[in-house]
Amino acid sequence: MPEDAFEALADADVRNDATFTLDAEHATPVFGRQEDPPSAPAATDVDPGETVDVLGTSHLLAQFGAVAREALRGHLPEGYGAVERGASISHLAPVGVDGDVTVSATLVRVSRPDVRFAVRAERESDGAAVATGDLTFRVVDRDRFRGSVPE
């Protein structure tokens, strides 16, 4: 990506937010047997009635990634895109099935060829912070990247 495009990105106010409802299909069971992927409970003395389905890291990371990518829409030159390079997430409060969550992403650093977003999730019901973290994306030439992926 041309250097001036990175400079323009660094000077831009790049942010986005979105709200989603946690459905049962995307919830992670804790304190009990997990079916997909299959695993035994973390504790040997767990009772099946203790299982609770909550917002897990994988679905939260997907939501954060989507909101950050959408924030970049229109800010990258034609032919360029962003691929995830790294993430750090800290869970702060649980969200159960049917809970509404607002996720936000704000561009906080541009360091060619990477861009970093601060991300945050909040429960809609009470505004409680659910999670915070950061995502790093590598800005790539889309054609060159596709060509580097083995068949």
Report the alpha-carbon distance of residue 31 to residue 39 in Å, rounded: 11
118: tokens are 């601060």
pTM of the model: 0.88
Range of the domain at 116: 3-148
CA distance linking residue 104 with residue 145, whole number of Å: 27
DSSP state of 48: G
- Within 10 angstroms of residue 96's Cβ, the number of other Cβ atoms is 12
Looking at the 3D structure of the chain, how many domains does it have?
A: 1
71 closest CA partner among 82, 86, 56: 82
Q: Kindly report the CATH number assigned to the domain that includes residue 40.
A: 3.10.129.10
pLDDT in 10s for each residue of the chain, 151 residues:
788 888 989 999 999 999 999 999 999 888 766 665 666 666 666 676 778 889 999 999 999 999 999 999 999 999 999 999 999 999 999 999 999 999 999 999 999 999 999 999 999 999 999 999 999 999 999 999 999 999 8
| Paired tokens of 148 | 């580097």
